[in-house]
Amino acid sequence: MRVVVLVKHVPCALRGMGFGADHTLDRAARRGQLNEPDEYAVDQALQIALRRRDVQITAVTMGPAEAVGALRKALILGADEAVHVLDDRLHGSDALGTARVLAAAVGRLGFDLVLSGSASSDSGMSAVPAMVAELLGVPVLCFADLLRVREHKVEIGRDDGAGLQAFAVALPAVVSVTERCGEPRRPTLAATLDAHHKLLRTWSLADLGLADGDAGVATTVVRTVTARPGGAEHVVLADAPEVAAIRVADFLAAHQFL
């Protein structure tokens, strides 16, 4: 069984970051890390591997040279090998552009199950797993709070606020997991040292056969970026508790918690 985990390299903290001249996030000044939900995805892959003998876990990322840090962490957490899609033309890719490249990489590797975190901490889009599934032509289960892999199918549990739901799908499939699916185990020193010897491959767009396609072409364009010095105005003063209570109830209703 081939499990491919899609991972992303994200900045450690977003506070105080800014945008570059080309309206992309200025990542150079910030230390990066493996996106936290993706750690959970790697750990879930490892959980499957603990129960089956035939599991091969491959971590895949697309990003600049520094993104290799995320792959190293994934290898430490339990991935068997890693693929880094690295190409200068990919700078500034949007969700669909990223999904096209990742789908090509996953298709080239071959897969039974594709896992990923449900959202990235920097963009927060949650779009790439569903897009990858659509491009690969396989079903997708997004936002899994619970994941169980059976012989030929996966089952997930999901809590959307309006109640619990469980879904099942036959493999191959794409599943995105939330941070509620179980805390990842801390890697041992032996695993950390062993990760240096694992295979880490770098593929370019030409390797994926996308060199003259539209993989690097963005489908969205940022018009303007304006800084708001105070940040979002989100603190209300409760001179009257009734007014504050209505504000909070409105907020909860809008987020579908009421």
Partner 1 sequence: MRPVLVLADHTATDRSVCRSTCALLTLARRLGPPMAVLCTPADAAGVARLGRFGATTVATSSRTELDEHPAAARVELLAHLARRTAPVAVLVASHRLGQEVAARLAARLGSGLVSDAVDVRLDAGGPVAVQSALLGAYRVESSVTRGTPVFTVRTDAVAPVAAPVEPVVERVDIGFPPGVRAVRRIARRPAGAGLHPDLATAAIVVAGGRGLGSQRSFGLVGALAEALRGTVGGSHTATELGWCDRRDQIDQLGTIIHPRLYLALGISGSVRHRAAMQHAETIVAIDRNPTAPIFDLADLGVVGDVHRVVPELLAEIRRRRATR
Give yes or no for residue 254 binding partner 1 (CB under 8 A).
yes
Query: Closest CB to partner 1 among 36 and 80?
Result: 36
Q: Given the rule CB under 8 A, which of 55-63, 72-80, 136-144, 202-210 is the region that contacts partner 1? A: 136-144
Name the pairing type of β-strands 199-203 and 140-144. unpaired
**Residue 15 half-sphere exposure, CB side, CA atoms within 13 Å?**
1
Strand partners, 33: 10
Give yes or no for residue 206 binding partner 1 (CB under 8 A).
no
Rounded distance between C-alpha atoms, residue 254 and residue 119, angstroms: 20
DSSP code at position 19: B
Query: Closest CB to partner 1 among 53 and 152?
Result: 152
Single out the residue of 167, 191, 200, 201 in contact with partner 1 (rule: CB under 8 A).
Answer: 167
Cis peptide before 229 (omega within 30 of 0): no
Q: How far is the CB of 227 from partner 1 (least distance, A)?
A: 6
Give yes or no for residue 170 binding partner 1 (CB under 8 A).
yes
DSSP code at position 24: S
Return the number of other C-beta atoms located less than 10 Å from residue 115's C-beta.
30
Give yes or no for residue 222 binding partner 1 (CB under 8 A).
yes
Q: In 117-153, which positions are buried (b, 16+ CB within 10 angstroms) versus exposed (e)?
A: bbbbbbbeebbbbbbbbebbebbbbbbbbbbebeeee
Contacts of 256 (CB under 8 A, 6+ apart): 160, 161, 162
Single out the residue of 20, 66, 199, 219 in contact with partner 1 (rule: CB under 8 A).
Answer: 219
Single out the residue of 89, 180, 198, 201 in contact with partner 1 (rule: CB under 8 A).
Answer: 180
Give yes or no for residue 225 binding partner 1 (CB under 8 A).
yes
Give yes or no for residue 241 binding partner 1 (CB under 8 A).
yes
Give yes or no for residue 143 binding partner 1 (CB under 8 A).
yes
Single out the residue of 1, 56, 112, 130 in contact with partner 1 (rule: CB under 8 A).
Answer: 130
Strand partners, 62: 85
Give yes or no for residue 126 binding partner 1 (CB under 8 A).
yes
Is the CA virtual torsion 36, 42, 46, 48 positive or negative? positive
Q: Which of residues 52-81 bind partner 1 (CB under 8 A)?
A: none
Query: Closest CB to partner 1 among 137 and 189?
Result: 137
Single out the residue of 51, 152, 197, 223 in contact with partner 1 (rule: CB under 8 A).
Answer: 223
Paired tokens of 211: 């060199």
Rounded distance between C-alpha atoms, residue 195 and residue 80, angstroms: 8
Give yes or no for residue 197 binding partner 1 (CB under 8 A).
no
Give yes or no for residue 245 binding partner 1 (CB under 8 A).
yes
